[in-house]
A and B are shown apart, each in its own frame.
Chain A
Amino acid sequence: MERPAAAEQPVIVVDKVSLAFDDKVVLKEVSFTLMPGHTKVILGASGSGKSTILKLILGLWKPDGGAIWVNGERVDTMRELELMKVRADVGMVFQEGALFDSLTVGENVGYKLYEESDSSLEQARARVEEVLGFVGLRDFIERMPSELSGGQRRRVAIARAMAAKPRILLYDEATTGLDPITAITVDEEMVKLRDLEGVSSIIVTHQLRDAFFVATHQAVRQRDGYAISPADARKCDEAEFIMLKEGVVSFEGNAAELRAAKDTYLRSFLS
């Protein structure tokens, strides 16, 4: 498999990736690319291999076949030590947040800055306050994760993922289990990060409403902050949906194409 041409400059290339656990096929020749500043929404039923793709992109698991490129580096054959450099530019929001129980919210958010970077304590602290302000939780900096609600945990997880300013963010079911109002708050964070910070993102979810919200809205910077509004046609095209069915990509297209799809499985999923 050849390295993707520099002219295309996709940030992520997943090329015919397959994975099986014993006899169970999880992914079968899955392929897609993510361009800078774009969003890829991966839909599918539980157990369809959605979260697996994110773990493969991050190098947490290795595929049985195919190739994965992140920022031009092939990650599926990399050793753990080399992967650390690639991961410096990728943030991930895990299901349920995966916050470190023994650390405060501030320590969680600033973990990478405090432990794995050359930032001074003052710089790290300033960045932690900045990103916590971004997700509206600046006053929670000294709290422990156990004191937070589900929605607050997800927002702290987003803040932690973005603290080191990665150019790629992977969201694993970031809104699953949240009430609609909190879910919209999390969706807005994703839109803000994409449109105001230029972050490329892959969103794994089976929450259709949240997926469509992110794909069809945009954030615009204003004098007194920002505004979220319905996206224009160009912005809508930058958000693509992938539907996984039994480990195979059964649909790929934008929000309008997904809504217009005639496939029976897709229709039943959308209804």
Chain B
Amino acid sequence: MLPLLDAWLKGAVLEVQEYVRLQIATIRGALSRPFYFRDVVEQFEQIGIGSLTVVLLTGFFTGAVLALQTGITLDQFGARPFVGRLISASMVKELGPVLTGLMLAGRIGSGIAAELGSMVVTDQINALRALGTDPVRKLVVPRVLAGFFMAPVLTVISDTVGIIGGWLIAVFQLRVASSLYWTSVVDGLYIYDAWMGIIKPFCLGYVIVTIGCHVGLRTAGGTQGVGRATTNAVVASSVAVIAVDFFVTRLLITLFGQG
């Protein structure tokens, strides 16, 4: 039993050490030359534009179902007109960042791990190094920059369509006046909420992409290993999204109070 625990602990410490090393190399790569600008633009397109559909659909239906469910509950207190306030606060502060993060973990985290993992097992990463290219600068830095900057943009889009989805349900199902809904939406939002909603996705985007890159680059064991890496990346980044969301929320509350 003890040797097993020992091996597990060593493995876990090694993973953390390699993850930290990758992050240091990534930050160094992002701040110094050579900088592969074309790859950065390509990744912004793939991660940003490529994730738009899934984020739009998730955001829209989340806002809509939130309106449906809360409308029924608010009715019990005669507070149906306040549905907009609840939707805007929930979407902007929590659901928008977390659900967008989870969608990105599924789409981006898995894609990156599979792509880099395939490159590892087919010796393409070694070929890159042999040709004089640092794989971190060429492959990791563009993806991390794209994840870091596109996650907040996608989150804002998700928040917006979520609120629009809620509006459609509020107006056509709950029979709340449109002007009342939008007034309630604005009333429910404070600048503090907006900050929280915009800071979190930066952290989530960074974590999702760095986990995907780390797991992908440490792939071993042929095509079976690529499959395993893909699953591990999705599981690890999904759990990380929830955990990081909690810790960042806690930190922001500590720094700025309850708003």
Residues in A lying within 8 Å of B, measured CB to CB: 55, 58, 60, 80-81, 84, 87-88, 90-92, 94-96, 98-101, 111-112, 115-116, 160
Contact stretch, chosen from B11-19, B56-64, B122-130, B230-238: B122-130
Measured CB to CB, the closest approach of chain A to B125, in angstroms, equals 9
A90 to B3 CA separation, bound complex (whole angstroms):
43
* Chain B residue nearest in CB terms to A112: B131
Contact A100–B124 (Cβ < 8 Å): yes
In the complex, what residues of B have CB within 8 A of residue A91's CB? Answer: 130
| CA A160 to CA B124, docked complex, whole Å | 13
Q: In the docked arrangement, what's the CA distance between A55 and B125, Å?
A: 12
Residue from the list B118, B131, B138 in contact with A87, Cβ < 8 A: B131
Asked if B134 is an interface residue, CB under 8 A from chain A, the answer is yes
Highest count of chain A CB atoms <10 Å: which of B128, B129, B133, B138: B129
Q: How many residues of B contact A (CB 8 A)?
A: 16
Instruction: Please report B residues at the A interface, Cβ cutoff 8 Å.
Output: 34, 36, 118, 122-124, 126-134, 138
Partner of B127, one of A88, A90, A92, A115: A92
B145 → chain A closest CB, angstroms? 18
Known: A58-B129, A80-B134. 17 other contacts (CB 8 A): A55-B126, A80-B129, A84-B132, A87-B132, A90-B130, A94-B130, A98-B122, A98-B123, A98-B124, A98-B126, A99-B127, A101-B124, A115-B133, A115-B138, A116-B131, A116-B133, A160-B131
Task: Establish whether residues A88 and B123, one from each chain, have CB atoms under 8 Å apart when the complex forms.
Answer: no
Residues in chain A near residue B124, CB distance under 8 A: 98-101
- Check B130–A87 contact: CB distance below 8 A: yes
Do B127 and A94 touch across chains, with their CB atoms under 8 A apart?
A: yes
Q: Which residue of A lies closest to B118 (CB)?
A: A101
Closest to A115 in B: B133
List residues of chain B with CB within 8 A of the CB of A88. Answer: 132
A112 to B34, CA, bound (A): 13
Contacts of A58 in B (CB 8 A): 129-130
Residue of B nearest to A91 (CB): B130
Nearest residue in A to B135 (C-beta to C-beta)? A80
B130→A92 contact, CB < 8 A: yes
- 18 A-B contact pairs sorted by A residue (CB < 8 Å): A55-B126, A80-B129, A84-B134, A87-B129, A90-B130, A91-B130, A92-B130, A94-B126, A94-B127, A94-B130, A98-B122, A98-B123, A98-B127, A99-B124, A100-B124, A101-B124, A111-B131, A116-B132
Chain B residues whose C-beta falls within 8 Å of the C-beta of A90 in the assembled complex: 130
B133 touches A94 (CB 8 A): no
CA A58 to CA B126, docked complex, whole Å = 10
